[in-house]
Structure 1
Amino acid sequence: MTITQLYYVLAVAEHKNFTLAAEKCFVTQPTLSMQIQKLEEELDIQIFDRTKKPIGLTDVGAQIVTQAKNIVNEANRIKDIVDQQKGYIGGDFRVGIIPTIMPTLLPMFLNTFIKKYPKINIIIEELTTNEIISKLKNGHLDCAIAATPLDEEKLKEIVLYYEPFVAYVPESSQNINKKEIEVADLDVEKILLLQDGHCFRNSILNLCKNNNFIGENHFQLESGSFETLIKLSDEGLGTTLLPYLHTLDLNEKNKTKLKQFANPKPSREVSLIFSKNELKIHIIDALKNTIQGVVRGAIAFNDVEIVSPK
C-alpha cells in the first residue's frame, strides 16, 4: 500500500470517473487503474462498484476513503512541519472567500499581503459557505474567510472583524429623513434580498425572524448582486441591507440613502476558518495580521449584535 495509491483512490472517489481522475492526477488512465487494482488485490476487497454509472463506492470502500483522506492529508503536511520549523513562510496557500466578502475585502489586503510575503503563492477561490466547508474538510483549502459562527466540529474559527449591516433606503421611504433606524422600522414586505444560497441573505432572514417579523414568504424580490439590489431600491421597489464595507465605495448621492442602525448594530462576524489539524498556522497568522491591520482603520464599531448566517 502506498500514499500514491490512496491519492488515486481519493481522486476517483471525488470525480466518480477513472479517466477524469487520471487527468486530475496527471497520469494516464491505465496507470491509475492499475495502481487501484493492485491495492484492491492486496486488501482482497473491491473499493469501487464499477457497475454503477457514475462509479460508486462499496460499503468498505467508503470506510477506506475516509481513512485515506486522513493519511494523505497528514502525509502532505510533513513538508509544512519542516517549513514551520525553518521559519519559512512560502509555498502554495489555498484560500476560499464567500461572494459577499470577496469584492470588498480582497482589494483591501491582497496587495499588502503579496508584497510582505512574496514567497507565498496564494490561490484564491470565490466559494459559497457550503463549498468552503466541504473543501476544508477534504483538504482542498488551507483556510477560508466567511461569516461565522458555523459550528462545524472539525473546523476552527478566528474572528477577523465584525461588520455591521447598513440599510439602503429609497427616497420614497418613510425612513429617508431618519438619522438612525431600528430593525423594527423596516418594511418586511419590501426587503430586497440576495438569491438563496448566500449566507448574507440568511443573516437578514434571521435578523427579521429574531425581531418577530413575518416569515420568509413575504420577501418578494431577490437578486444575485448588491449592485442590482441598489438599482432596484433606487427605482423605489424597496429597502435592501448592505454589509458596511460595501458602502464605502458608493457614490456620494447613494451614500445619502444609507441609514445606520441604532446600537447595538446588527452585524455579521467575519472569520478565518481552517481545519483543526491544519499545520500552516504560521501563514494563517500572517494572513490574519494583514487583514486585521487594514480593516481596523475601516471599521470602528464596538457595540454590535451578531446575527447568525445559519
Structure 2
Amino acid sequence: MTITQLQYVLAVAEYKNFTLAAEKCFVTQPTLSMQIQKVEEELDIIIFDRSKKPIQLTEVGQKIVAQAKNIVNEADRIQDIVDQQKGYIGGEFRLGIIPTIMPTLLPMFLNNFIKKYPKVKLIIEELNTAEIITKLKNGHLDAAIAATPLEEEKIKEVVLYYEPFMVYVPEEHAKFDKKELEIEDLNVDEILLLQDGHCFREGILNICKSKSQSKENRFQIESGSFETLLRLSDEGLGITLLPYLHTLNFNEKEKTKLRHFADPKPSREVSLIFPKNELKIHIIDALRNVISGVLRGAIAFQNVEIISPLHKK
C-alpha cells in the first residue's frame, strides 16, 4: 500500500462520503474508490461499511484509520527533517485564529512575518475554538492562535501573552466614577455579551455570576461584534468587557469609559497551539518569535489571574 492510498482512506473516514473525499483529494471518485478497494483487498479486510448512510468505519477500520494517521504524519515529518537540516523556512502553512483575537493581533504581526519569511505561504482562517480543535486533529490546520488552556490531550500549547479583560462603562452607569473595578462590581445580567460559541463570552461568564433578583429582563441581546456591543453600551444599555489589545486604538472619548480590574487582573491566556506531533515546528517557532517580538512592550501585565475559556457548568 502507498501513502497516497492511506490519505484516501483518511479522507473517506473524515467526510464519510466517497464523492466528497475525492473532491478534497483532487482525484475522481472512481480513482479514489479503486485505490481504497486495493488496500482492502491487500489486507483482506473491509475498512468501510458502505451499506450505512453516511458511510461508517468497521471495527477493524477504526484501528486501520488510527494507524494510518500516524503513518501519514510520520511521512510528512521526513520533509520537515530535510527542511530543518537545510535551514529552509517555506511552503504552505495553515493557521487558524479565533474571531476575538484576529482583528487586533493579525495586523500587528502579519506584515513583519511575510517580510521576514517570504517563502512561507500563509493560509489564515478565522474560526471558533471548536472548529480549530477539529481541524487541528484532522490535519487541516498546522497551528492556531486561541485562548487557552483547552485541556486537549493531543494539542500542545505555547503561551504568547496574557491579555487582561477591560470594562467599558457608559457615562450614565453607577460604576462610571470608579477608577478601578472589582469582579464583585459586575452583574452578568447587565453585561452585553458576544454570541454563544465565542470563548471570550465563556470567559466573561466564568468571571462573574448572575446576581439578578429579577425573573424578567428588559431585553436580551448577543452580538458577534465588539463594535455593536460598544455602540449599545454608549446608548446606556449596559456595560461590556473587551480584550486589552482591542482597546489600544480607542479615541480619547472612548478611553474615558475604560476601566481596569484591580489586581490580580482577570485575563485570558493566548497561545499558539498545534498538534503534539510538531509537524512544521520550524515554521511554528518562526511565527512564535515574530509575534513575541511585536508584542514586546505592547502588552506586559504580571499580576494576572487566568480565566478559563472553557464552559463551566
- Tell me the residue number matched to 2:91: 91
TM-score, normalised via structure 1 length: 0.94
Question: Which sections of structure 1, spanning at least 5 residues, go unmatched?
Answer: none
**Could you list the per-position Cα deviations for residues 197-218 of structure 1 after superposition, in whole angstroms to 9, with x for gaps in the alignment?**
1111111111114xx8569x98
Shift of 1:300: 2.5
**Could you list the per-position Cα deviations for residues 210-253 of structure 1 after superposition, in whole angstroms to 9, with x for gaps in the alignment?**
xx8569x9894311111111111111111110000011122322
* 1:114 to 2:86 alignment: no
Shift of 1:150: 1.1
Q: 2 CA distance for matches of 1:166 and 1:227?
A: 14
- Tell me the residue number matched to 2:50: 50
Secondary structure at the aligned position of 1:159 is classed as strand
Secondary structure at the aligned position of 2:208 is classed as helix
Shift of 1:188: 2.7
* 1:194 to 2:198 alignment: no
Shift of 1:91: 1.0
TM-score, normalised via structure 2 length: 0.93
Q: Which moved more, 1:239-248 or 1:58-67?
A: 58-67
- Tell me the residue number matched to 1:13: 13
Q: 2 CA distance for matches of 1:73 and 1:214?
A: 51
Secondary structure at the aligned position of 1:260 is classed as strand
- Tell me the residue number matched to 2:306: 306
Shift of 1:191: 0.9
Q: Is the 8 A contact 2:186 2:208 kept in 1?
A: no
Q: Is the 8 A contact 1:16 1:56 kept in 2?
A: yes
Q: Is the 8 A contact 1:129 1:199 kept in 2?
A: yes
Q: Is the 8 A contact 2:170 2:176 kept in 1?
A: yes
List, as ranges, runs of 4+ consecutive aligned residues in structure 1 with deviation greater than 4 Å. Answer: 212-215
Q: Is the 8 A contact 2:187 2:208 kept in 1?
A: no
Q: Which moved more, 1:170-179 or 1:194-203?
A: 170-179
- Tell me the residue number matched to 2:254: 254
Shift of 1:75: 0.9
Q: 1 CA distance for matches of 2:48 and 2:279?
A: 31
Q: Is the 8 A contact 2:158 2:273 kept in 1?
A: yes
Q: Is the 8 A contact 2:187 2:211 kept in 1?
A: no
Q: 1 CA distance for matches of 2:211 and 2:108?
A: 35
Q: 1 CA distance for matches of 2:273 and 2:292?
A: 15
Q: Is the 8 A contact 1:265 1:305 kept in 2?
A: yes
Amino acid at match of 1:118: P
Q: 2 CA distance for matches of 1:279 and 1:107?
A: 25
Q: How does 1:41-190 map to 2 (within 5 A)?
A: 41-190=41-190
Q: Is the 8 A contact 1:190 1:220 kept in 2?
A: no
Q: 2 CA distance for matches of 1:37 and 1:230?
A: 57
Q: Which moved more, 1:11-20 or 1:237-246?
A: 11-20
**What's the Cα RMSD here?**
1.8
* 1:224 to 2:224 alignment: yes
Shift of 1:35: 0.6
**Could you list the per-position Cα deviations for residues 103-136 of structure 1 after superposition, in whole angstroms to 9, with x for gaps in the alignment?**
1000000000000111111111111111111222
Q: Is the 8 A contact 2:187 2:212 kept in 1?
A: no
Amino acid at match of 1:284: I
Q: 1 CA distance for matches of 2:252 and 2:54?
A: 54
Q: 2 CA distance for matches of 1:276 and 1:85?
A: 20
Q: How many residues align?
A: 307
- Tell me the residue number matched to 2:37: 37
Q: Which moved more, 1:42-51 or 1:262-271?
A: 42-51
Q: Is the 8 A contact 2:167 2:242 kept in 1?
A: yes
Secondary structure at the aligned position of 1:77 is classed as helix
Identity percentage over the alignment? 78
Q: Would the alpha carbon gap of residues 220 and 73 (structure 1) be closer, same or farther in structure 2, given more than 3 Å must change?
A: same
Question: Which sections of structure 2, spanning at least 5 residues, go unmatched?
Answer: none
Q: Which moved more, 1:296-305 or 1:76-85?
A: 296-305
Q: Is the 8 A contact 1:181 1:260 kept in 2?
A: yes
Q: Would the alpha carbon gap of residues 207 and 16 (structure 1) be closer, same or farther in structure 2, given more than 3 Å must change?
A: same
